[in-house]
Amino acid sequence: MANVLIVDDDPALREGLAEALSDLGHTPQMASSGREGLAALSETVDAVLLDLKMPGMDGIEVLRRIRSQESPPAVVVLTAFASAENTIEAMRLGAFDHLTKPIGRDELKTLMGRLPSRQRPVAMISKGSLDTLIGSSEAMRRVQKAIGLAADSQSTVLIQGETGTGKELVARALHVHGQRKDGPFIAVNCAAIPPDLLESELFGHVKGSFTGATSDRTGAFRDADNGTLFLDEIGDMPLAMQAKILRVLQERMITPVGGKPVRSAARVVTATHRDLPKLVAAGAFREDLYYRLNVIPIPIPPLRERPSDIVPLAEHFLSLAAPSGQPIKQLNSSAIDKLARYDWPGNVRQLRNVIERACLLTRSHTIAADDIDTSAEEHHPTHTALPEGDLPAAVAQLEEAMIRKALDACGGNRTDAARRLNINRQLLYTKMQRYGLTGGDA
């Protein structure tokens, strides 16, 4: 059983937690402020439940001071208003966990079962900026916690997620919140650079090493020295280049085209929307490189799996789209409902495009459901698994998926769905019969 210090300015919450802890067999202590909590700390305190928002000294400062001790107790940060900023910062400073109030008795019991008695202190770095990593869903909280835990590590990170989920944003968050935040952040899209130019882009070259090399080039690895190199779409990298990247990660040395080996001091963060284990099995990606990259995996959930984040994201994009000095447009209930019901195959990127378009084309201060147009974003669904090697079957499957999506988005109204699909109503009805689709208006 543990001695637990509860630090919270809300007397009702303190008493409730204390009663629950006592019922679970633990010994609670209570403090009503950060300073009182620090004064109550002793070697007998096994864990601290720490409120984030308190007058005077806030929870982050209290956490910082607790973690600076030689053998600090485990600290769990509690907040009624979780955000990416405070979640990442708390985890970075060494919090055992970051939970949202209220905490039920079962959740508290599970938490106490996970808590260690003491933890080693961790390095403390000043807070960076992370204005656009929006999301308070449990799935995004896991991403934010992973960022906080991995930010100061020098190990490679593999960010995995569908197109449009915000992989580069997570990479930048790792950089901004880590020890290298004052160094450069260099992003390279491996899929956008021709294979014959990728080596020079990454490793640099010396003048005269090939036709067109009219001057020396340092390359992305050296440009990112003492900072972060983000290799996006690593799954599209040619096999020959994969072998060279593996060697760099193993030896921390790069060789410019036509030059001599030099040391690399960049932290490498990679990302892909592709299934790397499948590529490994198919011989299209090196297994040894996969394991070298996947030291710290951070999977990003697609937007359809975290629907509670849709409206906060949309409101954030509305604020970004508002011209300087003008009021921010608002979503009415019909727009919110439409946003929540759509499955967002293009993820956060698609949502931002839709919101920016609605903001630009809507004269009213309020955006309604009719102003939310996703049709321009629906040409390339990103999460439909298509059969390989069978073009007619793939086309049919894609067509059926688009018809289903249009009908769902239009509440089953065939006339609106046909208009959305840019076909006539009779053709839509014929295709619905072909695919065995029912429902909607007659």
pLDDT of 33-59, one tens digit each?
A: 999 989 888 878 889 999 988 988 999
Q: Where are the alpha helices (DSSP H) in 137-286?
A: 138-150, 167-176, 195-203, 220-223, 239-251, 276-281
Residue 249: pLDDT above 90?
Answer: yes
Backbone angles phi, psi at 4, to 5 degrees: -120, 125
- 355: tokens are 């919101």
Residue 80: pLDDT above 90?
Answer: no
- pLDDT on residue 413: 79
Residue 206: pLDDT above 80?
Answer: yes
Strands across the sheet containing 27-31:
27-31, 3-7, 47-51, 74-79, 97-100
Kindly indicate the confidence band of residue 417, based on its pLDDT and cuts at 50, 70 and 90.
confident
Third-level CATH fold of 303-377? Helicase, Ruva Protein; domain 3 (1.10.8)
Where is average pLDDT lowest: 138-152, 172-186, 337-351, 414-428? 414-428
- pLDDT on residue 379: 47
Same fold, 3-114 and 391-434: no
Residue 437: pLDDT above 50?
Answer: yes
Q: How far is CA 405 from CA 24, 397, 417, in A?
A: 49, 12, 9
- Give the CATH architecture of domain 138-299: 3-Layer(aba) Sandwich (3.40)
- pLDDT on residue 299: 96
Q: Taking the chain, what is the end-to-end CA distance rounded to the nearest angstrom? A: 66
Q: What is the mean pLDDT of residues 313-341?
A: 89
Nearest to 122 by CA among 76, 85, 153: 153
**pTM value?**
0.62
Residue 221: pLDDT above 90?
Answer: yes
pLDDT in tens, 331-386: 999 999 999 999 999 999 999 999 999 988 887 788 999 999 887 655 444 444 44
pLDDT in tens, 383-405: 444 455 556 667 777 888 888 88
Q: What is the CATH superfamily name and number for domain 3-114?
A: Response regulator (3.40.50.2300)
Q: What is the torsional sign of CA 147, 152, 153, 154?
A: positive
Q: How far is CA 331 from CA 63, 141, 172, 300, in A?
A: 38, 25, 29, 26
52: number of Cβ within 10 Å: 24
Q: What share of the chain is helix, strand, coil (3-state, %, to 5)?
A: 45, 15, 40
Where is average pLDDT lowest: 268-272, 310-314, 380-384? 380-384
The per-residue pLDDT of the chain, averaged, comes to 85
- pLDDT on residue 388: 53
DSSP, res 183: S
Residue 119: pLDDT above 60?
Answer: no
Q: Where are the domains of the chain?
A: 3-114, 138-299, 303-377, 391-434
**425 against 274, higher pLDDT:** 274
Question: Containing H/E element for 53?
Answer: none
Q: What percent of the chain has pLDDT over 70?
A: 91
Residue 129: pLDDT above 70?
Answer: no
Residue 287: pLDDT above 90?
Answer: yes
- pLDDT on residue 376: 63
Kindly indicate the confidence band of residue 132, based on its pLDDT and cuts at 50, 70 and 90.
low
Q: What is the mean pLDDT of residues 302-306?
A: 93
Third-level CATH fold of 391-434? Arc Repressor Mutant, subunit A (1.10.10)
